[in-house]
Structure 1
Amino acid sequence: MSVLIKRLLNLALGELAASVSFVVVYHLYADWGGSSQLALYFLVFQLLQGAAYWIYRARTIGREPSPVARGILTLMRRGNLISAVIAVPWIVTLAESRTDMAAGFLIYAFAVIEYVNYYWYRLSYGKSGFNMAMLLRAGLRPSSIHKLLQRG
């Protein structure tokens, strides 16, 4: 297995592990209510899309992605944007307490950052994933999905 394939599969595994970890930790320690739960599942949905994308890319190394894959990614990018807009009033409506709403909006913000990171701009640099100094030095660069969609 090539180094690049291993790296892509490690990215996918990291997204899957993060998804499971967030859900388990939330339900064990921080089940604040409907608002934060909605935001959590929006975040998990973003992470699972990231995992699926990295697995797909690992399987298609050296080949141009299919028009069907491009179409799905385009639909997902648009659908996620619509979901992000619709989620805001629902986070307010479903809030069971101020803590629930605050947690909901914090988790939601993280989900939106993940959406931007996957579909628009690469926000993670360095070995740790997020390195603000490297991001400021490198500037915003198109994400892998964004570049793939631009080619098609």
Structure 2
Amino acid sequence: MYHKLTTKLFKLFTGELAATIVFAMVWIMYLNTYEWTKPYLTSLGTLFAFFLLEFLLLQGSYYWFLKWRQAKRRNFSFLPKNKLKLFTAFKKLNILLLGIGFGILLYKLFYFSNVFYWLLFLYLFALVEYINYYHVRLSYQTREVIEELKRHRRFRSSKLAEELKNK
């Protein structure tokens, strides 16, 4: 059980970190390779949404890293108070950034630019990541979790949301 848990936590934190790195590398590769992508990838709105997504992925990676490090020490309690305060600050900052992103999205919709759909995709991706980390568990669904969802008709709280609620 211990080995299975530490392996799962290791995969979670390295997976989130790898996604962050790969997304940035693909972004840069497309910028340098395809001239037609420059307006889409360099507009202020899409850059903001992309950095917001990357920031959220790094938070997820950091959370899973902390949980992995705790599990390696056979400590299965909540994160220390100072780390929970950090994630509380991240949550507040995320809400502010999502609000700014929503404003940018509305502006781009009103002035319908050619980057609107790309911006919408990135913004929604960031929003889903925020919800997944700070509210309800949307990813890594197991068969048991899906069965529970069918029975109770609601999603399970995310691990981080549970920890922040009990701090």
1:43–1:19 CA distance, 2 compared to 1 (3 A): same
User: What TM-score do the two structures reach when normalised by structure 2?
Assistant: 0.77
- In structure 2, what is the equivalent of residue 18 of structure 1? 19
Helix, strand or coil: the match of 1:7? helix
Q: In 2, are the aligned partners of 1:121 and 1:141 still within 8 Å (CA)? A: yes
Q: Aligned match of 2:98 in 55, 75, 84? A: 84
Residue number in structure 2 paired with 1:122: 137
Asked whether 1:101 is paired with 2:116, we answer yes
Q: CA deviation at 1:90?
A: 3.3
Q: Distance in 2 between matches of 1:99 and 1:13?
A: 34
- Does the 8 Å contact 2:10/2:65 carry over to 1? yes
Q: How does 1:46-57 map to 2 (within 5 A)?
A: 46-57=56-67
Mapped to 1, the partners of 2:114 and 2:25 lie a distance apart of: 19
3-state SS of 1:124 partner: coil
Letter in 2 for 1:7: K
Q: Is the 8 A contact 1:8 1:58 kept in 2?
A: yes
Which structure would you say has the larger Rg?
Answer: 2
Q: What are the superposed Cα offsets for residues 49-83 of structure 1, whole Å, 9 maximum, x if unpaired?
A: 00000000111232442111111111111111111
Aligned-partner Cα distance in 1 for 2:16–2:140: 16
Query: Quick one: distance in 2 between partners of 1:92 and 1:64?
Result: 39
Shift of 1:91: 4.6
Question: Aligned letter for 2:133?
Answer: Y
* Moved segments of 4+, more than 4 Å: 91-97
1:93 positional shift: 5.6
| Shift in CA distance, 143/126, structure 1 to aligned 2, threshold 3 Å | closer
Q: Which has the higher contact order (CA 8 A, sep 6+)?
A: 1
Gaps of 5+ in 2: 31-36
Taking structure 1 as the reference length, what is the TM-score of the superposition? Answer: 0.83
**Percent of aligned positions with the same letter in both sequences?**
27
In 1, Cα distance between the equivalents of 2:9 and 2:115?
35
Name the count of aligned residue pairs: 148
Q: Is the 8 A contact 2:105 2:119 kept in 1?
A: yes
Q: Find out whether 1:44 has 2:58 as its counterpart.
A: no
C-alpha RMSD of the superposition: 2.7
> What amino acid sits opposite 1:22 in the alignment?
F
Matched residues in 1 for 2:64 and 2:117: separation? 31
Shift of 1:24: 1.8
